[in-house]
Amino acid sequence: MRYGGNNRSRLLLVTLIVTSLFFITLNLRGVQVMTGVRNGTQGILAPFQRAASTAFSPVGNFFADISHLGRTKAQLKSLENQNAILRTQLLNRKNVDSEIKQLKSILNLAGIAGYKIVNAKVISQGSSSGFTQTVTIDIGRNMHLTRDMTVICGQGLVGVVKAVYPTTALVMLASDPAFRIGVRVAGSQEIGILAGQGTDQAVLQLLDSQSSVQSGDVLLALGSQGGKPFVPGVPVGEVTFASDLAGGVSQTAEVKYYSHLNALSVVAVVLQPPASDPRDALIPPKPIPKPIPTVTIFASPPASPTPTPTK
Amino acid sequence: MYTRRVAYSTITFLAVFIIQESLFTQIRFPWGGFSLLLIFALCWAALSTPEIGAITGFGAGLLLDLAPSSGGPVGQWTLVLILVSFGVAFLRYGDESLRGNPLSVVLIVTVGVIVTLIGYLLLGALLGVELGTTSELLKSILGNGLWTLVVAPFVLPIASRIHRGIFETRESQ
Instruction: Measure B75 CA to nearest chain A CA, in Å.
Output: 5
End-to-end distance of chain A based on CA atoms, in angstroms? 121
CA distance B35 to B17: 9
- Which of A:45-64 have CB within 8 Å of B? 45, 48-49, 51-53, 56-57, 59-64
Q: Cβ of A265 under 8 Å from any chain B Cβ?
A: no
CA distance B16 to B23: 10
Q: Quote ipTM for the complex.
A: 0.85
Number of other CB atoms surrounding residue A253 within 10 Å? 23
Contact A127 B21 (CB under 8 A): yes
Contact A130 B69 (CB under 8 A): yes
- Which of A:124-143 have CB within 8 Å of B? 124-132, 134, 136
Contact A131 B27 (CB under 8 A): no
Instruction: Measure B135 CA to nearest chain A CA, in Å.
Output: 10
Instruction: Measure A31 CA to nearest chain B CA, in Å.
Output: 11
Q: Is the pLDDT of residue A309 over 70?
A: no
Give how far Cα A200 sits from Cα of A134, A176, A219, A254, Å: 13, 10, 15, 10
* DSSP track, A129-150: SSS--EEEES--GGGT--TT-E
Residue numbers of chain B with a pLDDT score lower than 70: 1, 94-100, 169-173
What tens digit of pLDDT does each residue of A180-193 get? 999 999 888 889 99
Q: Cβ of A170 under 8 Å from any chain B Cβ?
A: yes
Provide mean pLDDT across the span A280-286.
75
In this structure, of A53-67, A196-210, A274-288, B159-173, the range with the lowest mean pLDDT score is A53-67
Q: Cβ of B118 under 8 Å from any chain A Cβ?
A: no
**What angle do the packed helices B102-127 and B134-166 form, to 10 degrees?**
130
Which pLDDT belongs to residue A133? 87
Nearest beta carbon to residue A136 from set B50, B68, B129: B68
Q: Who contacts B27 (Cβ-Cβ below 8 Å, separation ≥6)?
A: A56, A59, A60, A61, A62, A63, A64, A125, B33
What does the mean pLDDT of chain A come to? Answer: 81
Share of chain A residues as helix, strand and coil, in percent rounded to the nearest 5? 30, 25, 45
Which pLDDT belongs to residue B14? 93
**Cβ distance A109 to A101 under 8 Å?**
no
Which pLDDT belongs to residue B71? 75
Contact B58 A16 (CB under 8 A): yes
Is residue A169 very low, low, confident or very high in pLDDT (cuts 50, 70, 90)?
very high
Q: What are phi and psi of A269, to 5 degrees?
A: -105, 130
Q: What are phi and psi of A235, to 5 degrees?
A: -65, 130
Closest CA in chain B for residue A7: B51
Q: Cβ of A178 under 8 Å from any chain B Cβ?
A: yes
The residue among B68, B98, B19, B154 whose CA lies nearest residue A43 is B68
Q: Who contacts A236 (Cβ-Cβ below 8 Å, separation ≥6)?
A: A156, A157, A174, A181, A183, A194, A219, A220, A221, A255, A257, A258
Which pLDDT belongs to residue A132? 83
Q: Is the pLDDT of residue A208 over 50?
A: yes
Contact B64 A262 (CB under 8 A): no
Closest CA in chain B for residue A200: B136
Number of other CB atoms surrounding residue A216 within 10 Å? 10
Q: Is the pLDDT of residue A101 over 50?
A: yes
Instruction: Measure A110 CA to nearest chain B CA, in Å.
Output: 28
Q: Which residues pair with A220 in a beta bridge?
A: A184, A235
Give how far Cα B154 sits from Cα of A197, B93, B133, Å: 34, 22, 32
Q: Is the pLDDT of residue A301 over 90?
A: no
Which pLDDT belongs to residue A55? 76
Share of chain B residues as helix, strand and coil, in percent rounded to the nearest 5? 80, 0, 20
